[in-house]
Structure 1
Amino acid sequence: MNTSKVWYVTGASQGLGLTLVKKLLEHGYRVAATSRNVQKLKEAVGVIDSERFLPLVVDLNNLDCIDESVQQTLAAFGRIDVVVNNAGYGMTGTVEELEEKEIRTIFDVNVFAAINVVKKILPQLRKQRSGYIINIGSVAGFVGAPGWAVYSATKAALAAFTEVLALDLKEFGINTTVVEPSGFRTGFLTTDSLAYKASKLDGYEAVKETAKRYLEGNGIQPGDPDKASEILIELAESDQPPLHLYLGRDAYNRAAKKLNAMTTSLEEWKTVSIAADFQTVKD
């Protein structure tokens, strides 16, 4: 592995981001890691090594703050090779019961923060004509579950952003991947990482049952964050990493099932789809 690479990881004080930062430092990489609480980040990582670890307090919705963190990283390490947009949280509840402010806030954190980070780091990656951007999405962005409509919308947006970014950046030798995990034991379903609003409305039985099942499953999810972190490190060493990577058996199965259903539906409605075009005159 090329341990001279410099990683920039957001949302690093807990969950997958924290596990990844620890793994990277164990492997000898240099890491700039962001958090809203830098003291919490330092204590969680438990490493005091200014030559390889740069903890940064960053407001990811403030472009100037992000730019300052990028400049600090370059001053400390001289380059940035891998960017991991990991910061984010979950939200479950019915759309009609979620407040507009709550919806806007999760889009700010899950979508616009990632866009802002990419916006500020891209000039350096283009200058290097190399780099790798990993956006942490979710299988919910492709195959949602009842009650997770708004969260799924944020992750679907992040996936679409990553797809088009790959087209834009191909000529610069910059790769992108959206990683879409299913359930991992990262504390995602705890109060720090999940905005949960129990429905008080009649009906919505599927929403209520799904919320109950997910919350009861906290701490026993099948996904291993240590293995996920090792996979992310391996991706960064690949010359041709995948654009989409579903992590976890459940993620793979859900994505495969939906792809099959979509293909079937696409062909079933093919005649209607192409009938919307202007009729071409045949010679």
Structure 2
Amino acid sequence: MNKIVLVTGASSGIGEGVASFLSEKGYVVYGTSRKPKNERDFPFKLIVLDVLNTETIQTAVQLIIKNEGRLDVLVNNAGMGITGPIEETPTEEMRAVFNTNLFGAIDVIKAVLPGMRRQKSGIIINITSIAGYTGLPFRGLYSATKGALELITETLSMEVKPFGIHVVNVAPGDFATNIAAGRYHAPISEQSAYKEKYQINLDLMNAHVNSGKNPTEMAKKIYAILNTKHPKIHYKVGGFLEKFSIVLKRMLSDRMYEKIVMQHYKL
């Protein structure tokens, strides 16, 4: 029986790559977008879902269950980026990114769990980030949201395992997507104490995304996870240095690791 998959944030980037790849592999895939009527055609069903609107979340999940009778897989991908010095980033923007990347993801999980518990099976895959393992300069809020989702994944995995449900996360490094275009950037003012360093890091971040890996690599990893009988909790997909940075953080003292990160980001 073909598995029924829900991929949030599937109109572009990693979400689109995952939804398209799984469709090609025979899965019945529902992707979501806040405004799907304005999108081009996709090789999967694209439906309305805004992670900031619980009514649209419930409606989307109920539609899938009505059409297919079940929902087997959630790929919790929808999210947003944010950059800026902590001191100069508006608090309302901080709350907005937590509402999208963390609480929005949790609300989608809440919507799919009742059905998965009834059928005594399912897998929830949270898309986090390698940035969630380290506080990065001028990306602290983004790192914090993804790090928090990593911990939620660990907790949820224990809570729902008795119901036959697996919860895992996949942490990507830099991928060639349009996240930079949709990211909130704290304005760079001429009077800012961080002006020069922040601009250098913005240019560095955008260069990393532009030269990043193909989203198909994420799709292949998720496909492999779906075909693993006993999946792990944490997966990482990225370049050697990105993944090695996590190992290095465990090995070195806090200040030594901090020094290496600051040198990398030209601080």
Q: Same fold, TM exceeding 0.5?
A: yes
Q: Which residue of 1 aligns with 2:186?
A: 197
Asked if the contact 2:72–2:123 (Cα under 8 Å) also holds between the matched residues in 1, the reply is yes
Residues 203, 55 of structure 1: alpha-carbon distance in 2 compared, 3 angstrom cutoff: closer
Q: CA deviation at 1:54?
A: 3.0
Find the aligned partners of 1:70 and 1:218 in 2 and give their Cα distance.
32
* 1:30 aligns to 2:28 (yes or no): yes
1:242 paired residue among 221, 224, 232: 232
Find the aligned partners of 1:140 and 1:82 in 2 and give their Cα distance.
25
Q: CA deviation at 1:59?
A: 2.1
Question: Could you give the per-residue CA deviations for residues 212-252 of structure 1, whole angstroms, max 9, x where no partner exists?
Answer: 2112334212x221121011011011111111111112331
Q: Which residue of 2 aligns with 1:225?
A: 215
1:211 paired residue among 187, 196, 202: 202
Question: Could you give the per-residue CA deviations for residues 124-144 of structure 1, whole angstroms, max 9, x where no partner exists?
Answer: 011111110000101111123
Find the aligned partners of 1:37 and 1:4 in 2 and give their Cα distance.
27
Q: Which residue of 2 aligns with 1:14?
A: 12
Q: Which residue of 1 aligns with 2:177?
A: 186
What is the identity, as a one-letter code, of the residue corresponding to 1:4?
Answer: N
What is the identity, as a one-letter code, of the residue corresponding to 1:173?
Answer: G
Question: Could you give the per-residue CA deviations for residues 10-40 of structure 1, whole angstroms, max 9, x where no partner exists?
Answer: 0010110011111111112101111001124
1:166 paired residue among 157, 160, 182: 157
Indicate the SS of the match to 1:217.
helix
TM-score normalised per structure 2: 0.88
Question: Could you give the per-residue CA deviations for residues 68-113 of structure 1, whole angstroms, max 9, x where no partner exists?
Answer: 1111001111111110110001111011211122111111111111
The within-5 A match list for 1:243-258 is 243-249=233-239, 250-258=241-249
Asked if the contact 1:4–1:29 (Cα under 8 Å) also holds between the matched residues in 2, the reply is yes
Q: CA deviation at 1:263?
A: 10
Count of aligned positions: 253
Asked if the contact 1:18–1:44 (Cα under 8 Å) also holds between the matched residues in 2, the reply is no
Q: Which residue of 1 aligns with 2:91?
A: 100
* 1:138 aligns to 2:136 (yes or no): no
Find the aligned partners of 1:183 and 1:40 in 2 and give their Cα distance.
27
Q: Which residue of 2 aligns with 1:154?
A: 145
Asked if the contact 1:10–1:17 (Cα under 8 Å) also holds between the matched residues in 2, the reply is yes
Residues 264, 196 of structure 1: alpha-carbon distance in 2 compared, 3 angstrom cutoff: closer
What is the identity, as a one-letter code, of the residue corresponding to 1:146?
Answer: P
Q: CA deviation at 1:203?
A: 4.1
What is the identity, as a one-letter code, of the residue corresponding to 2:244?
Answer: N
Indicate the SS of the match to 1:180.
strand
| Percent identity between the two aligned chains | 34
Asked if the contact 1:63–1:116 (Cα under 8 Å) also holds between the matched residues in 2, the reply is yes
Structure 1 residue runs without a partner (length 5+):
48-52, 266-283
The within-5 A match list for 1:36-55 is 36-41=34-39, 43-45=40-42, 47=43, 53-55=44-46
Q: CA deviation at 1:188?
A: 2.1
Find the aligned partners of 2:187 and 2:203 in 1 and give their Cα distance.
10
1:73 paired residue among 44, 54, 64: 64
Asked if the contact 1:82–1:131 (Cα under 8 Å) also holds between the matched residues in 2, the reply is yes
Question: Could you give the per-residue CA deviations for residues 234-279 of structure 1, whole angstroms, max 9, x where no partner exists?
Answer: 10111111111111123311111112236999xxxxxxxxxxxxxx
Q: CA deviation at 1:205?
A: 5.4
What is the identity, as a one-letter code, of the residue corresponding to 1:88?
Answer: G
Find the aligned partners of 1:126 and 1:263 in 2 and give their Cα distance.
42
Find the aligned partners of 2:73 and 2:253 in 1 and give their Cα distance.
33
